[in-house]
Amino acid sequence: MLEIPVLRWGKPYESFDQQEVVHFETGEPLAKVHQANAGLVKMDMRKAQRARDLLREIPCSKLLEICKNAANLYMTAELPLGNGKQTPEEFCRIQSASTGMPEWMCAGNMKKIAFVLENMESILDSLTRGLPLDILTRGYGKEERGVMMSYQANSPVLGLVLPSNSPGVHTLWMPILPMQVGLVLKPGSSEPWTPYRMTEAFYQAGIPRECISVYPGPHDVGSTVTELCQRVMLFGGQQTIDKYKGNPNVQAHGPGFSKILLGDDVVDRWEDYLDLMVDSIFQNGGRSCINASSVWASRHSEAIADAIAKRIGPAGPTSMTDPEAPLAAFTMTGAAKAMNGQIETGLSEPGVTEVTAKYRDGERLIELERCDYLRPTIVHCANTDATLANTEYMFPMASVVQCDQKEMLKKIGPTLVCTAITEDQQWSQQLLDATHIDRLNIGPIKTNALNWLQPHEGNIVEFLYRARAFQNEAPAAH
Amino acid sequence: MTDNNNLDELVKQNQEALDAHTRESVQWHFSPETGSPYWLEKAKGFDFDPLTDVNCFEDLNKFPLFEDDELRGGPVDRWIPKALLGKPTYVFETGGTTGIPKSRVVIDDFRIDYENFSDTLPDESFPKGSNWLMLGPSGPRRLRLAVEHLAQYRDGISFCVDLDPRWVVKLIKKGKIDEVKEYSAHVIDQAMAILGAGHDIKCMFTTPKLLEALAMRLMDEGSSIEEAGIKGIFCGGTEFTQQWYRFAREELLGENVYITPTYGNTLMGLACGRPFDPADDYKITYYAPQPRAVIRVVDFDDHTKVVGYGETGRVKLFTMTKELFIPGFLERDEGEREVPHAKYPWDGVSGVRPYHKIAQSTTVGVY
């Protein structure tokens, strides 16, 4: 069987503790993943600076080339994986088998990752606002306009506590190595595939092995990574987000509560935006935090809900190899059932109606022997206080909320992506000023249409580097 | 073959001794002259008479399972056998992160347990006459007094650094990780101060997490556990895995520092680890201090049924000292049943870990 060791600064380590990753439908063992213990991580973190030192010996321009090569290797090569090898096709197959994502979605996520790596130069140019990258290496330098700039790395490595269910999020850590910061990866238990394949692609492309550690393991390994790395990106539910709120060392990624707001000036033409709403809710199986979890409109909300429901309501599970499989499975026992129960409770509140029920044959929850599915669900909320007006689940589920435009910004709550379709200049300005919206689209743009030249969920450059004052000559008199 | 025959003979002798000890314990704890108020009262509800119907260890299955909630709250003197009334008595607590902690009254048991344990320690790694560092939770747990007695019994003096695990659990539950780190650093600061104060400390009791923290602090300061003068460590109190054992020996300590895992609690005393054998791949097997305490690995669904050797089950504990009688209590642990060893010719248990059905709801390994 495939055996995957811990990677301690690139060095394989075979642990006595191993965990099997199994096929979610058949229970067939797919691989044995060796498990780190927290002490190993603590021991290794004492050498974290070495990762950054080695990366600083490679010019950023060279690292950008390495990223391009890594993208190509990731997409096309047969790469080593533990005691075996893996082609891209095998990668998609095994990722689908353990996460419940249809294979075509896994392939789509590969393309996203490759796109980011191939376009890293433009992405970093954009994220750093045009900073000459050697300033990150040396710590200081002058821009073309003659201004002295200094950036200090907040940490020699970035720790990542990665999820099990959403391969798309791995795009977020791709820019780290070319910024000359090492990687400490704690993969999710069902999705070790992307971290290992990406690590091997980086190694083969020329990143020194000592710059990346991969520590599969139990929860205390994740908490040790979080505790010891001075900068950490982690993924979890709302409880996790709340736990790390205000901790400058941790960038916590959770539910997005992404939304589409229809302005009063366009809402009578809502049918023009139906495709946009459906895609925002439904693409990638509705699993991403950038999928819309609600649509807000001051009128026509029932008709909007009905139209969306009519489009996506009939969708149901098919084979993982179906090139158009619309839904991802829930592989964790009880998760889908629990969500279904919460939705049913939410539906019992006044003014809340499920619209999809009439368009599908059968129940929302489909329980199979080893996995479950939740079929698309559109809920109409006649008021903004309903629990389901602002709830997010990992499947195509959204509420259509009736709300006056002037109330929307007060009521929507924290929002990762907000697509506001409007030409109302005054409202647009209020949207621009709204600090509870992270990524703002004004105009007909899908919530899940990412522009990688824009900051993503907190600018990674600002997270990893501190802009500061630096002088190596006395300032001019003034 | 001779070894196996000898082992078989030793196992047989120990089983006979255990049966005799069981009879003696039951007579002591259920006799109206010597027994404790708790057991004398309980016996009235049994459908058998312990004094006549318990003649061997197997007969303990006649008792209902002991529920540890019985240990919560007072009056604690209901547990003291009449024959021991009036002797100086301690109360040691276990649990206590929520609600009323479980209490156990003790007179001499902790001393006897640790004197017996002392006999299992190799003198070259735990030199007689050398001093000890006890780095872990003290009162109201028994550890501080027990380790202190161990040191004294071995002609040494114990220096103690306290850690309050209940406070650490509270901090973790509130997500106050920085405060946990500060507290841990505070504990290690004190250990470093004692180790650097010329007390000739060569032996140590600590927990896996604290040993990790101390070893790494010493490394960060260009030293090591060995260079600090420590020759022997007995380590326990929280989960001690095979993987961690290997990590400790290979990376934390080096080959010149002896470490022995232990598994114990307020009800059992101290189980000993099977002597380290590289061929075992750092497997950890514990043997209870029979006949004072016995552990059996039992079926998850039928606690009266012992699983086969190598099979997994729940750890069931029996305690039979003059001070305490526990005729079968399901521990919060599971593991694999192991064959007897020449040094400990009775059943052992390996791979001890939190019982899978309650593991998810427990905050473990805080100290």
Quote the ipTM score: 0.82
More confident residue, A145 or B107: B107
**Contact A101/A326 with Cβ under 8 angstroms?**
no
Question: Is B242 an interface residue toward A (CB < 8 Å)?
Answer: yes
List the single residue in A16, A35, A220 with the smallest CB-CB distance to B282: A16
Residue B53, classed as helix, strand or coil, is helix
| Nearest residue to A63 via CA among A169, A161, A173, A208 | A208
* Mean predicted confidence (pLDDT) in A150-173: 90
pLDDT in tens, B254-263: 899 999 998 8
Q: What percent of chain A has pLDDT over 90?
A: 82
Q: Phi first, then psi: give them for residue A274, nearest 5 degrees.
A: -60, -45
Structure confidence at residue B81 (pLDDT): 97
Considering only CB atoms, which chain B residues are within 8 Å of A226? 177
Say if residue B31's pLDDT is above 60: yes
Partners of B263 in beta bridges: B271
Chain A to chain B, count of Cβ pairs less than 8 Å apart?
A: 40
Task: Look at residue A246 and tell me whether its pLDDT is greater than 90.
Answer: no
pLDDT one-digit tens code per residue, B304-316: 999 999 999 999 9
| Domains of chain A by start residue, with CATH | 2-254+458-467 (3.40.605.10), 259-442 (3.40.309.10)
B224 to chain A, any CB pair closer than 8 A? The answer is no
What is the DSSP-derived secondary structure letter of residue A412?
Answer: S
Chain B nearest-CA distance from A179, in A, is 28
Contact state of A39 with B282 under an 8 Å Cβ cutoff? no
**Residue A94's pLDDT is what?**
96
B216 vs A contacts (CB less than 8 Å):
42-43, 46
Query: A37 CB near a chain B CB, below 8 Å?
Result: yes
Q: Name the residue in chain B with its Cα closest to that of A227.
A: B177
Between helix A60-76 and helix A88-99 the angle, nearest 10°, is 80
> Which tokens hold the place of A125?
């140019």
- How near does any CA of chain A get to the CA of B196, in Å? 23
B215-249: per-residue pLDDT in tens? 999 999 999 999 999 999 999 877 788 999 999 99
Q: Do A39 and B252 touch (CB under 8 A)?
A: yes
Say if the Cβ atoms of A46 and B219 lie within 8 Å. Answer: yes
Residues of A in contact with B243 (CB under 8 A): 15-17, 35, 37
Hey, are the CB atoms on A40 and B247 less than 8 Å from each other?
Answer: yes
> Is B360 an 8 Å CB contact of chain A?
no
CA–centroid distance for A306 within its chain: 30
Q: Which of A6, A9, A16 to mutate to test the interface with B (most CBs of B within 10 A)?
A: A16
Identity of residue B221 = E
Whether B177 has a pLDDT exceeding 60, the answer reads yes
pLDDT interval class at B191 (50, 70, 90): very high
Q: Looking at chain B, which residue has its C-alpha nearest residue A243?
A: B175
C-beta atoms of A37 and B248 within 8 A: no
Kindly report the average pLDDT of chain A as a whole number: 94
pLDDT digits (tens, 9 = 90+) for A42-92: 999 999 999 999 999 999 999 999 999 999 999 999 999 999 999 999 999
pLDDT of residue A98: 94
**Does B281 sit within 8 Å of A39, measured CB to CB?**
no
Mutate to test the interface with B, among A14, A19, A40, A43 (most CBs of B within 10 A): A43
How confident is the model over A307-329, as pLDDT tens digits? 999 999 999 999 889 998 999 99
A 10 A CB-CB count for B6 gives 12
| Distance separating alpha carbons of residues B350 and B59, to the nearest angstrom | 25
pLDDT at A332 (0 to 100): 86
Residue B3 has pLDDT above 70, yes or no: no
B244 and A39: CB-CB below 8 Å?
yes
Beta-carbon separation of B244 and A35 below 8 A: no
Contact B247 A39 (CB under 8 A): yes
- Name chain B contacts of A40, Cβ cutoff 8 Å: 247, 251
B246 lies within 8 A of chain A by CB: yes
Output the average pLDDT for chain B.
Answer: 91
Q: Give tens-digit pLDDT for A10-45.
A: 999 999 999 999 999 899 999 999 999 999 999 999
Query: A43 and B243 in contact by Cβ < 8 A?
Result: no
Mean pLDDT of A219-224: 92
pLDDT at B278 over 80: no
Q: Any CB–CB contact under 8 A between B177 and chain A? A: yes
Output A332 or A176, whichever has higher pLDDT. A176
Q: Is B238 on the interface with A (CB under 8 A)?
A: no
Is residue B297 a contact partner of residue B347, using CB atoms and an 8 Å limit? Answer: yes
DSSP assignment of B285-299: EEE--TTTEEEEEE-
Nearest to B181 among A46, A227, A244 (CB): A227
- Left, alpha or beta for B207 (phi > 0: left; psi -120 to 50: alpha)? beta
Whether chain A has a CB inside 8 Å of the CB on B359: the answer is: no
Q: How far is it, in rounded angstroms, from Cα B134 to Cα B191?
A: 9
pLDDT at site B98? 64
- Say if residue A375's pLDDT is above 60: yes
Question: CA dihedral in degrees (A260, A261, A265, A267; nearest 10)?
Answer: 60
B343 close to A (CB below 8 A)? no
Instruction: With H, G, I as helix, E, B as strand and everything else as coil, classify residue A330.
Output: strand
Q: What distance in Å separates the CA atoms of residue A376 and residue A357, rounded to the nearest whole number?
A: 9
Residues of B in contact with A6 (CB under 8 A): none
The mean pLDDT value for A224-250 works out to: 89
C-alpha A79/C-alpha A76 separation (Å) is 9
B219 touches chain A (CB under 8 A): yes
Chain A residues touching residue B281 (CB < 8 angstroms): 16
Interchain contact, A17 vs B282, CB within 8 Å: no
For residue A376, what is the DSSP state? -
Of B219, B246, B365, the CB nearest to A16: B246
Q: Predicted confidence band at B360 (pLDDT cuts at 50, 70, 90)?
A: low
Q: Worst-scoring range by mean pLDDT, A192-206, A255-269, B32-46, B253-267?
A: B253-267
Whether B250 has a pLDDT exceeding 80, the answer reads yes
pLDDT of A193 above 70: yes
How far is it, in rounded angstroms, from Cα A116 to Cα B309? 54
